[in-house]
Amino acid sequence: MGVTTAYMLGKYGHEVTVFDREPGAAMESSFANGGQLSYGFASPMGTPSLIGKVPGILMGSDPAFRLPSAMSFEFMRWSLQFLGHCRSGASRRDAEELARLAAQSGSVFQEILNDTEFEFGHRQAGKLVLYKSRTDMQKARSALDQGETSASKRVVSYDECLELEPALKNYTGQAVGGLWVGGDEVGDAARFSEQLAELSARNFGVKFRFNANVAKVEALASGGHEIILSSEERERCDAVIFCTGVAGTKLLQTLGIKLPIYPVMGYSLTAPVGQDAPKMAVTDAGYKIVFSQIGDQIRIAGFADFGIASEERRRQRIQELIVTARRLIPEVADYSRIKSTWIGARPATPSSLPIVGTTKRNGIYLNMGHGMFGWTLSAGAAQKLADLIGPASQVSQAA
């Protein structure tokens, strides 16, 4: 989010500096995510069917979800709001808004790519979401009936799934059918972000300060703000945009800004493709596991664990991801040569909608909380924020 926002503001003529505590771009929640650009399929985590899963989640028997090991007031408050968004009316409204944002983001992403020759395993793979129950299929069908219809999106029977993606012939899950989204894309988010950072620096003079942990942001009496790093270095700026994912909420609290963003952890592994690696991006909706072929590697990502998981749970869930993926599609990857495993925390809001815009503090902006679809939404959210701030020429005239 930080890199796309810096790119857009740089393009609008602003002088931009990115402070990131990591040694490079996209090294936290964006690093080895599912690699899916789901422009035609971005749906909220809170749905009426999730309410039916609550007993299994509470008992720890739902394979996709885990609750925090210790209950906190913060989680209780967030989960009550989240359950409110699982009600059918709220969930439908969230789904419509998310679908709109995702579609807009797809167009902006394409505009960015038109100016570049990036190499990040990007291709229009199409996507197949496999559903375990007829109710989920019915819901997908009614979403299409309510205006989401497009030529490249339709609900398909399981036989059609096999026709569309023959690599699923040895799939052992319980899918009864799926949703096919022809235009969806895959790629590597970290490689994309690195290259966009380089381009932003080269074309628009954006400065990237890595290994720069922001300890505090202070308002100045003379206007503007001062960024204070852990090294005690200070830098004055006219406006501060928080694109700080999960980690930024504490920093914002010191400015009196409280956000309903809670970490929902997920896991991934990257390995050479096996003989049954699907060409399309495949999502198993029940297990919340995605399979994306990026170049000659398969990225398998999944699960949704609320709260920051302990070391022990992380190890256990990575193992569960490997075992479950291997059971679902045995030859999807060369599991003997797993290249890397990864753990990330999705910055999730109760509605699954991101928080993009102004705050009660003059000169403090937000672009955070993109949850399950942060890479998908990044280009559109960055454009939205840049439009809100306006081109540098207009801002300086107004000042």
Ligand X SMILES: Cc1cc2nc3c(=O)[nH]c(=O)nc-3n(C[C@H](O)[C@H](O)[C@H](O)COP(=O)(O)OP(=O)(O)OC[C@H]3O[C@@H](n4cnc5c(N)ncnc54)[C@H](O)[C@@H]3O)c2cc1C
- Compute the least distance from the CB of residue 32 to ligand X, in Å: 8
Q: Quick one: which segment of 8-16, 44-52, 240-248, 269-277 binds ligand X (CB under 6 A)?
A: 240-248
Residue of 43, 91, 105, 244 interacting with ligand X (CB under 6 A):
244
- Compute the least distance from the CB of residue 73 to ligand X, in Å: 22
Q: Which helix (H) or strand (E) holds 292?
A: strand 289-294
- Compute the least distance from the CB of residue 399 to ligand X, in Å: 27
Residue of 47, 91, 200, 268 interacting with ligand X (CB under 6 A):
268
Residue of 10, 40, 187, 245 interacting with ligand X (CB under 6 A):
245
**Single-letter amino acid code for the residue at 81:** Q
Residue of 156, 217, 301, 379 interacting with ligand X (CB under 6 A):
301
* Site membership for ligand X, residue 249 (CB under 6 A): no
Contact partners, residue 34, CB within 8 Å, separation at least 6: 266, 268, 281, 290, 292, 299, 301, 302
Q: Which helix (H) or strand (E) holds 236?
A: strand 234-237
Measured between alpha carbons, how far is residue 270 from residues 149, 320, 371 in Å? 33, 15, 21
* Site membership for ligand X, residue 22 (CB under 6 A): yes
- Compute the least distance from the CB of residue 281 to ligand X, in Å: 8
User: Are 298 and 273 contacting, i.e. CB atoms less than 8 angstroms apart?
Assistant: yes
C-alpha to C-alpha distance for 171 and 158, rounded to whole angstroms = 11
Exposure string of 146-164, with b = 16+ CB inside 10 Å and e = fewer, is: eebeeeebbbbebeebeeb
User: Are 291 and 325 contacting, i.e. CB atoms less than 8 angstroms apart?
Assistant: yes
What does the block give as tokens for 85? 């968004």
What does the block give as tokens for 29? 């929640």
CA dihedral 19, 376, 358, 225 (to 10 degrees): 0
State which residue, 268 or 383, has the beta carbon closest to ligand X: 268
Measured between alpha carbons, how far is residue 114 from residues 5, 108, 126, 295 in Å? 17, 10, 20, 21
State which residue, 335 or 342, has the beta carbon closest to ligand X: 342
* Site membership for ligand X, residue 341 (CB under 6 A): no
* Site membership for ligand X, residue 349 (CB under 6 A): no
* Site membership for ligand X, residue 266 (CB under 6 A): yes
Short-list 309, 319, 313, 262, CA closest to 45 = 262
* Site membership for ligand X, residue 284 (CB under 6 A): no
* Site membership for ligand X, residue 40 (CB under 6 A): no
**Single-letter amino acid code for the residue at 289:** I
Q: Quick one: which segment of 62-70, 88-96, 163-171, 242-250 binds ligand X (CB under 6 A)?
A: 242-250
* Site membership for ligand X, residue 373 (CB under 6 A): yes
Which residue has its beta carbon closest to ligand X? Answer: 374
How many residues sit in the footprint of ligand X (CB under 6 A)? 39
C-alpha to C-alpha distance for 71 and 307, rounded to whole angstroms = 9
E strands, 78-219, are 127-131, 153-157, 177-181, 185-186, 207-209, 214-219
Please report where in the chains the tokens 């740089």 appear, as a residue.
10
* Site membership for ligand X, residue 346 (CB under 6 A): yes
Residue of 200, 375, 379, 384 interacting with ligand X (CB under 6 A):
375
Q: What is the CA radius of gyration of the chain?
A: 21
C-alpha to C-alpha distance for 61 and 379, rounded to whole angstroms = 37
State which residue, 359 or 395, has the beta carbon closest to ligand X: 359
State which residue, 169 or 250, has the beta carbon closest to ligand X: 250
* Site membership for ligand X, residue 364 (CB under 6 A): no
* Site membership for ligand X, residue 314 (CB under 6 A): no
- Compute the least distance from the CB of residue 116 to ligand X, in Å: 19
Q: Quick one: which segment of 30-38, 54-62, 109-117, 381-389 binds ligand X (CB under 6 A)?
A: 30-38
* Site membership for ligand X, residue 29 (CB under 6 A): yes
- Compute the least distance from the CB of residue 27 to ligand X, in Å: 6
* Site membership for ligand X, residue 324 (CB under 6 A): no
* Site membership for ligand X, residue 247 (CB under 6 A): yes
Binding site for ligand X (CB under 6 A): 1-2, 19-22, 26-30, 33-36, 213-214, 243-245, 247-248, 251, 266-268, 290, 301, 344, 346-347, 368, 370-376
